[in-house]
Amino acid sequence: MSAAPASATISLTLKVWRQASPGQPGGFESHRLERLSTDLSLLEALDLLNDRLLRAGQRPISFEHDCREGICGSCGFLVNGQAHGPQAATSVCQLYLRRFHDGDTLTLEPWRARALPLVADLAVDRSAFDRIIAAGGYCSVNTGSAPEANAILIGRDQAASAFDTATCIGCAACVASCRNASASLFVAAKLAHLGQLPQGQPERSRRARAMVAQMAAEGFGGCSSHLECEAACPQQISADWISWMRRELRGG
């Protein structure tokens, strides 16, 4: 299951993209970390490195993170060219060092997409995702106007399928993995979540058109059909939903 035995230590070289702000030039900076416990996550190794940088009076590396258990969707950068690193179905906060070998060099880079402008170092601005949701990723129902919950019957499998698409954590690994920097998987997942449920039917076609239009307006590309998005998705959302989304658009 793991490359290194439990409780072992390894040494790594982190080649990290450093860029203080979008207006300044960026470049790689290498840091050698010796004898790290393989029980550390990659983000914890960055914490350790940042502590060292701070003590030396240098600017720490910016990277997004919060829950550190793979659910908030904050974290994400490229590890050796792969979004969230080499482990499938994992966001980078759940990537542990035992996955690597002693002496490895890891190249860490931010998501690179026009619609996800750089903030600093490994952090990018994903507010485009919020604007796509604002364009129609909801059921228009005011608080207090809901009918009795069991008045709407939804088959078990149908609910489970809607749930699978609703698990998208909004990390943008799909965009980072796509050669067209498309947000198709993100948009399709939300359309499929609501479009599969009776509650989502009244606004179904308007929602599809509005969210896809917003995706284009934000500067995301069209689907490249390479399916890299599916491979990188920490929630393993199927790229088949992109085909489903296209049918939605034709039907609307």
Partner 1 sequence: MTSPIASAPPRGSGSPATAPLAPPAPLPPFPPPAPRLDPRLPAGPLDTAWQRCREDLPLISPANKRKLRVLVVGSGLAGASAAATLAEQGYRVQLVTYHDSPRRAHSVAAQGGINAAKNYAGDGDSIDRLFRDTLKGGDFRAREAGCHRLAEISGAIIDQCVAQGVPFAREYGGTLANRSFGGALVSRTFYARGQTGQQLLYGAYQALMRQVAAGRVELLTRREMVELICVDGVARGVVCRHGLSGAMETFTAHAVLLASGGYSNVFYLSTNAVKSNVSAIWRAHLQGACFANPCFTQIHPTCIPAGDTWQSKLTLMSESLRNDGRVWLPAQAGDGRPAAAIPEPERDYFLERQYPTYGNMVPRDVASRRARELCLEGRGVGPGGRGVYLDLAEAIRRDGREAIESRYGNLLEMYARITGEDPIASPLRIYPAPHYTMGGLWVDYHLMSTIPGLFVLGEANFSEHGANRLGASALMQGLADGYFIAPATVTAWLAGHPQPQIGADHPACRAAVAAAEVRIAALRPEPARPVGGDGARGRTVTDLHRELGLLMIEVCGISRSAPELRRGLAAVEALRQEFRDGVRVPDHGPGPDEALEKALRLEDFLGLADLMLRDALAREESCGAHFRVEFQTPEGEALRDDAQFAHIAAWEHREGASPTRHSEPLAFTAMAPSQRNYR
* Stretch 165-204: interaction string toward partner 1, x if CB under 8 A: -xx-xx----------------------xx--x-xx----
DSSP β-bridge partners for residue 116: 113
Q: How far is the CB of 222 from partner 1 (least distance, A)?
A: 24
Per CB under 8 A, the list member of 10, 42, 45, 223 interacting with partner 1 is 45
Cβ 85 vs Cβ 75: under 8 Å: no
Per CB under 8 A, the list member of 32, 59, 112, 114 interacting with partner 1 is 59
Closest CA to 33 of 106, 120, 87, 93: 106
Q: Name the amino acid, one letter, at 237.
A: I
Per CB under 8 A, the list member of 26, 31, 48, 230 interacting with partner 1 is 48
Angle 204-217/184-195 helices, nearest 10 degrees?
170
Q: How far is the CB of 147 from partner 1 (least distance, A)?
A: 7
Cβ 185 vs Cβ 237: under 8 Å: yes
Q: Given the rule CB under 8 A, which of 76-84, 126-134, 175-183, 220-228 is the region that contacts partner 1?
A: 126-134
Per CB under 8 A, the list member of 77, 100, 111, 129 interacting with partner 1 is 129
Q: Given the rule CB under 8 A, which of 78-86, 101-109, 151-159, 217-225 is the region that contacts partner 1?
A: 151-159
**CA torsion angle 217 218 221 226 (round to 10):** -130
62 vs 80, which CB is nearer to partner 1? 62
Residue 91: exposure state from Cβ atoms within 10 A (0-12, 13-18, ≥19): buried
